[in-house]
Amino acid sequence: MAALPPADQHQLSRKPSPLTQLARGPSGAVSGLKARDKALRLHGTIARKLGISIVSGRLKPGALLNNEIAASEQLAVSRTPYREAVRILAAKGLVDARPKVGTRITAQSQWNLLDPDVLDWMFESEPDLKLLTSLFELRNVVESAAAGMAAQRRSAAHLKAMRAALDGMAVHTLSTEAGQQADLDFHTALLDATNNPFFISLTNGVNAAIRTTTIFKQRTRPLRRDAIPDHERVFDAIAARQAAKAQRAMSELIELARLDTPVSKRPARNPAG
Amino acid sequence: MAALPPADQHQLSRKPSPLTQLARGPSGAVSGLKARDKALRLHGTIARKLGISIVSGRLKPGALLNNEIAASEQLAVSRTPYREAVRILAAKGLVDARPKVGTRITAQSQWNLLDPDVLDWMFESEPDLKLLTSLFELRNVVESAAAGMAAQRRSAAHLKAMRAALDGMAVHTLSTEAGQQADLDFHTALLDATNNPFFISLTNGVNAAIRTTTIFKQRTRPLRRDAIPDHERVFDAIAARQAAKAQRAMSELIELARLDTPVSKRPARNPAG
DNA sequence: ATGGCAATTTGTCTGAGTAAATACCGGAAC
DNA sequence: GTTCCGGTATTTACTCAGACAAATTGCCAT
């Protein structure tokens, strides 16, 4: 009777051991690119697991999680790490825990969608096209403006860092990890030049998230287009302190990046049949 | 000896009681506007306390917190809520906890500056002018773009909601709580019209934070300028589906709001004389 | 240099007890 | 009879306490 929690069937086995095995993600092989790789503990693992269930829609807003005792023993962990996981989710606005009522999944409008972890979780389960489009839309607005600001405020040091990053991209190409890092360095240096910590904070998370999809992109098919010239145009405008031109160039760069991003294979979540 | 943590001298008294008294913020009188008023527990109280210390600069990036046992008994609480507080801070990127090394305050570039709680904490301790300017800069970029998008995508329902909010502003004026709420409703409806969840998530938090400073503004001096006409201009442009005009109008609105925002009393250190 | 060992710190477990918030129920007032 | 009020019961998250495990650093001996 009663609340009928969404009840992740999961639960693994009951034995006192199995928790560790699901723990540290794709440990052995694949990963190694994500800077966010710091060997999650139990609480982090659980938060991630629940977080993905929530942002992917498997657990719906308004629904109640099982109570602490039930939920934690379903996951075969003690209450301590489970509670800490809930704290993490609550800190990101995904759930709301209160005595007597339980832990409820909040409305999407409450979520901190720009939190790096939340973004990461969204892209974990093949985000639909609509969401990706929305994210690129934001990125276009913010980072174009950032380019304009950078053109006005950049120092010689900023310029030098961007030049170095561009050279790195040229040398390694975007299909290598080093090349991707150089690309990220370029954007970081640009953001740095805006001298606005909010822009930096915002774009950091967004770019990291998009980068993970870029990895998929590189795996599935080669880049249709060489990104270097677009970056060079942005650089030139910033070097020349031409704000409007820098803004336009960045906008084009991002639009092209969006077009090169693969459409999600699974737009929604239900059809499957 | 050894690491010499920054060691909040604080500690309150040692007795087993004092924790509750510092708990629920300015409970009695002043507050009552903030929707985020849900009676913090111990972990939330501690997270807030530490969070403010961090974002205000009293605890500096790179510094180590005391270890769990010492820190928790300094605060006169058990390890459980202290650990949960650290989890909250870690979820927002403010600290990084790892075995054997301790809990370290991360570099500012790692912080989720746009997290509503973090913003709230920043404005708790008289943010300096530079920060406020940066935040308005971001808001201008984002919300102007949002206005442009809204002009293209708004439905009749969106328009109706915005109209109602504007009427509410006119009736109650911005010096009342109802008027402030109507103002917020206007922006919320506009954001809703963009149909972009990221814009909504981002601006929600930012506006809420700025609103708290607006309260101060209203207390210290009357509005220098009537905000209604500015809002009307935005509304008209959106109603007419004129994106560029809506964007410009919103940009002006925000710029004027910025000018009406009081300069922090304590920008850095200098006297008022 | 390299390997293992020890120390420190966070992480996890257990079980008990507290506090908050809802739902329920009985009684009083209308 | 109905409605409203206040207390009580129950459910749930929250806090406490203390022990043990795991991880990582740095030292030390080889």
CB contact under 8 A, A88 and B91: yes
Would you state the pLDDT for residue B224? 64
**A87 within 8 A of B84, measured Cβ to Cβ:** yes
Q: Which of A111, A261, A127 is nearest to B197 (CA)?
A: A111
Instruction: Answer yes or no: do B170 and B236 share one domain.
Output: yes
Beta pairing, strands B95-98 & B102-105: antiparallel
Would you state the pLDDT for residue B222? 57
Question: pTM for the complete prediction?
Answer: 0.85
Nucleotide nearest to B86 (CA to C1'): C10
Q: In chain B, which residue's Cα lies nearest the Cα of A112?
A: B201
Instruction: Answer yes or no: do B59 and B102 share one domain.
Output: yes
Q: How many domains does chain A have?
A: 2
Domain with B152 in it: 126-260
| B270 located within any domain | no
Q: How far apart are the C-alpha atoms of A227 and A170, rounded to whole Å?
A: 9
Instruction: Answer yes or no: do A36 and A98 share one domain.
Output: yes
Q: Tell me how crowded residue B155 is: count the other CB atoms within 10 A of its CB.
A: 11
Instruction: Answer yes or no: do B106 and B151 share one domain.
Output: no
Instruction: Answer yes or no: do A220 and A244 share one domain.
Output: yes
Read off the pLDDT of residues A7-28 as tens digits, 9 standing for 90 and up.
333 433 333 333 444 433 333 2
Here the tokens at position B85 are 């507080």
DSSP letter assigned to residue B109: G
Instruction: Answer yes or no: do A82 and A135 share one domain.
Output: no
Would you state the pLDDT for residue B225? 73
Here the tokens at position B17 are 């009681």
Answer yes or no: is A67 CB < 7 A from strand D: yes
If you measure CA to C1', which residue is closest to nucleotide D25?
B100
Q: In chain A, which residue's Cα lies nearest the Cα of B79?
A: A80
B88, B135, B145 ranked by CB distance to A198: nearest: B135
Here the tokens at position B34 are 């903030």
A91, A145, A198 ranked by CB distance to B114: nearest: A198
Instruction: Answer yes or no: do A216 and A106 share one domain.
Output: no
Instruction: Answer yes or no: do A82 and A136 share one domain.
Output: no
pLDDT over 70 at A37, yes or no: no
Interface test with B, best of A108, A112, A118 (most B CBs within 10 A): A112
CB contact under 8 A, B202 and A90: no
Read off the pLDDT of residues A191-203 as tens digits, 9 standing for 90 and up.
999 999 999 999 8
Read off the pLDDT of residues A104-118 as tens digits, 9 standing for 90 and up.
999 999 999 999 999
Q: Is A135 exposed, middle or buried (0-12, 13-18, 19+ CB in 10 A)?
A: buried
User: What CATH number is given to the structural domain containing A63?
Assistant: 1.10.10.10
Cα distances (angstroms) measured from residue B60 to each of A36, A108, B36, B95, B110: 22, 34, 27, 11, 13
Residue where one domain finishes, among candidates B110, B136, B158:
B110
Answer yes or no: is B48 CB < 7 A from strand D: no
Here the tokens at position B24 are 């629920």
If you measure CA to C1', which residue is closest to nucleotide C18?
A99
Instruction: Answer yes or no: do A130 and A252 share one domain.
Output: yes
Residue where one domain finishes, among candidates B55, B84, B110:
B110
For residue B202, the chain A residues in CB contact (below 8 A) are 113-114, 138, 202
For residue B36, the chain A residues in CB contact (below 8 A) are none
Q: What angle do CA B147, B150, B154 make, to 5 degrees?
A: 150
In which residue ranges of chain B is pLDDT below 70? Answer: 1-38, 214-224, 263-273
CB contact under 8 A, A87 and B84: yes
Please state, for a pLDDT cut of 90, what percent of chain A lies above it: 62
C-alpha radius of gyration, chain B, whole number: 21
| B271 located within any domain | no
Q: How far apart are the C-alpha atoms of A185 and A238, rounded to whole Å?
A: 16
